[in-house]
Amino acid sequence: MFSLKKKKALSILFGMLIIISSVACSNQSSSNTEDSSNDEEKTKIVFWHNWETGPSGESLKKSVELFNETHPHIEVDAVYVAPDGGDAVGSKLLTAVAGGNPPDVFFTSRYGIAEYMDAVTPLNEFAERDGITQDLFYDWAWGEATYGDTLLGLPYDGTARALFYNKEHFRAAGLDPDNPPTTIEELEEAARKLTIKEGNRYEQIGFIPWFGEGWLYTWGWAFGGEFIDENGTITANAPKIVEALEWETDFAQEYGIETLNSFVSSAGTNATNPFITGQLSMMVNGNWMLGQISEYAPDLDYGISYIPTPTGDNFTTYLGGRALIMPKGVKNQEEAWEFIKFMCTTEEAQSLKEITGDFSAIPDVNLKIYGDDPRQEKFLEVMPNGYHRPVILAGNMMWDEMAKAPELVMNNRGTAQEVLDEISEKINREIEKKKAE
C-alpha cells in the first residue's frame, strides 16, 4: 500500500504531466494555425509563356525558380502555351481576358502588343512608383514596349542580327578572312567569288540576301530607310527601302530566282542549316546562331561582322525581343508586377540569359555577361543604334506584307515601288480603321 506521502507525490507528478501535455498540445495547435496562416498568405500567380524546351526553356525555368525561392509570399506557376504563330499568343490572351480568366503575367513579342492593348494593363504607374524608367533599358527595347505614352509591358530580352561568314571559304576564294565586306558592292564581289556552280547546280552559294534574317526590314534599315515617320504614318515605300528591294531583286536575277528560291525552301535548320553544312558562305542571322554553331559545328571557322551598307559605315541592326505584360482583369496586380519587375530589371534574373546566348534589354547586363566574348563584339557595338519594327495597330499585318514583298517583285507582280506603295497604303488604311473602332 502507498503511504500518504507517496500518494501526494504521484498526484503532483500526474498534474505536472497533464500541464506539460496541455502546453505541448497548445503549441502544436498554434504551430498548425501558423502554418495554415502562412499557406493562406502565399499568393499564387499564373505565368503564360511559350518557351517549353531547349536553352530558352531552361533559362526561363531557372528564373521562375529563383523568383519563387526569393519571394516566399508569392508562388509563380509557369504554364506553357503554344503560340499562334512565330512567338505570339495574342488570340489566346484575348480569349482569356474576354472570359474573365486571364493569366497574371503574359510573355509575348513586343512589336505586336499594340494590337491587343485593350487587353493589357498599362504599367506606367507601377514603373513610375518604383523608379523604373527608360534609362535602364536600350531605347529600342523600351520603345518597342510602348505605344504612344502607354507602357504596355517591360522589355525582357533582345535579339540582334549581323553578317556571319565562313573564313575557310574566304581563304579558298582568295579573300581576306580578317576583312569581310562592309559595303554592298564588296558584298556582291565576295558573293561572286564564293559561289561555285557545276552546270546548272550550285555546289556552294556565296550569299542570298533574303536567307535567314535578311528580311526587307533588315535591308531597309541598312540602306538608311525608315518604315514610319514622326506622325505615325507607315513609309514602307520610302526611297531607301525601295532601293533595298530593287537591290535584292537584281541580286536574284543575277543568280537565278528559281534556283535561289529552291535552295532557300529546301534549306534546313539547326544541324542542317546550309551555313553550318558549308553550302552557304555568308548569311545575315541572329545572335542565337552562336549556340547552334557551337552545338552542331563546333569546329566551324567563322567570323561575325556588320551588316553591309551602301557606304560602308553607319552600321545598324534589326532588333527584336519579348516583353512581360500584365493582362487586363488581373486580381493580383501587385504580385504580378513584382514578378514582372524581377524578371525584367534584376541582374540576377537577367544574367541567366547567358544559358541561351540571348541578349538582355539592359546594356549593363550584356556587358557583364558578354563583354569578354569576341563573338559578341559586333552585336554589342551596333545594338545601341539598332531599329525595332513599328509599334502600330496593324503590326502583325505589316510583318506579313513586308515578308511577301520581295517574292512579289521577283515574280513580276509589280515593281518595288508599286508593291511598297500598295503595302504602305494598305497598312495605313488598317491603322485608321482600327483607330475608328
Query: Is the pLDDT assigned to residue 3 strictly greater than 50?
Result: no
Decide if 405 contacts 418 (C-beta within 8 A): no
The highest-level CATH class for domain 162-318+393-436 is alpha beta
Which pLDDT score is estimated for 12?
A: 39
**329 CB burial (10 A radius; 0-12, 13-18, 19+):** middle
Which pLDDT score is estimated for 97?
A: 93
Distance CA(355)–CA(53), nearest Å, equals: 13
Structure confidence by residue, pLDDT tens digits, 56-70: 778 889 999 999 999
Decide if 207 contacts 187 (C-beta within 8 A): yes
**C-alpha cell belonging to residue 170:** 574566304
pLDDT band for position 98 (cuts 50, 70, 90): very high
Distance CA(226)–CA(240), nearest Å, equals: 8
pLDDT band for position 85 (cuts 50, 70, 90): low
Structure confidence by residue, pLDDT tens digits, 198-237: 887 889 999 999 999 999 999 999 999 999 999 999 999 9
Query: Is the pLDDT assigned to residue 72 strictly greater than 80?
Result: yes
Query: Is the pLDDT assigned to residue 267 strictly greater than 50?
Result: yes
pLDDT band for position 6 (cuts 50, 70, 90): very low
Rounded mean pLDDT, 133-138: 96
Place of cell 525584367: 344
DSSP 78: E
pLDDT band for position 421 (cuts 50, 70, 90): very high
pLDDT band for position 111 (cuts 50, 70, 90): confident
Decide if 163 contacts 180 (C-beta within 8 A): yes
DSSP 271: G
- For residue 47, the one-letter residue type is F
Residues sharing a CB contact under 8 Å with residue 48, sequence separation 6 or more, in sequence order: 79, 81, 89, 92, 93, 103, 105, 106, 107
Same fold, 42-159+320-385 and 162-318+393-436: yes
Structure confidence by residue, pLDDT tens digits, 288-334: 899 889 989 999 999 999 999 999 999 999 999 999 999 999 999 99
The mean predicted confidence, pLDDT, of the chain is: 88
Residues sharing a CB contact under 8 Å with residue 188, sequence separation 6 or more, in sequence order: 251
Decide if 304 contacts 378 (C-beta within 8 A): yes
pLDDT band for position 27 (cuts 50, 70, 90): very low
Among 321, 334, 304, which residue's Cα sits nearest to residue 362? 321
Domain ranges of the chain: 42-159+320-385, 162-318+393-436
Rounded mean pLDDT, 259-267: 83
Distance CA(431)–CA(60), nearest Å, equals: 34
pLDDT band for position 170 (cuts 50, 70, 90): very high
Rounded mean pLDDT, 242-248: 98
Number of other residues whose CB lies within 10 A of the CB of residue 303: 19
Decide if 123 contacts 337 (C-beta within 8 A): yes
Q: Are strands 105-109 and 43-49 parallel, antiparallel or unpaired?
A: parallel
pLDDT band for position 89 (cuts 50, 70, 90): low
Residues sharing a CB contact under 8 Å with residue 294, sequence separation 6 or more, in sequence order: none
Residues sharing a CB contact under 8 Å with residue 141, sequence separation 6 or more, in sequence order: 110, 155, 158, 319, 321, 361, 388
Which pLDDT score is estimated for 92?
A: 82
Which pLDDT score is estimated for 133?
A: 96
**C-alpha cell belonging to residue 195:** 559561289
* Helix, strand, coil % over all residues of the chain, rounded to 5: 55, 15, 30
Which pLDDT score is estimated for 230?
A: 93
Query: Is the pLDDT assigned to residue 28 strictly greater than 60?
Result: no
Q: What percentage of the chain carries pLDDT values higher than 70?
A: 89
| Comparison of pLDDT for 46 and 20, the residue scoring more | 46
Number of other residues whose CB lies within 10 A of the CB of residue 41: 9
DSSP 411: T
Out of 46-55, 93-102, 104-113, 140-149, pick the least confident.
Answer: 46-55
CA 112, 116, 119, 123 dihedral sign is positive
Does an H or E element contain 74, and which? strand 74-80
Which pLDDT score is estimated for 88?
A: 56
For 17, the 3-state DSSP assignment is helix
Query: Is the pLDDT assigned to residue 2 strictly greater than 70?
Result: no
Number of other residues whose CB lies within 10 A of the CB of residue 122: 18
Rounded mean pLDDT, 399-404: 96
Query: Is the pLDDT assigned to residue 190 strictly greater than 80?
Result: yes
Distance CA(112)–CA(147), nearest Å, equals: 10
**C-alpha cell belonging to residue 179:** 576583312
Query: Is the pLDDT assigned to residue 41 strictly greater than 90?
Result: no
Query: Is the pLDDT assigned to residue 44 strictly greater than 60?
Result: yes
Query: Is the pLDDT assigned to residue 249 strictly greater than 70?
Result: yes
**H-state helical runs in 83-151:** 90-98, 124-129, 139-144
Under CATH, what is the fold of the domain 42-159+320-385?
Answer: D-Maltodextrin-Binding Protein; domain 2 (3.40.190)
DSSP 306: P
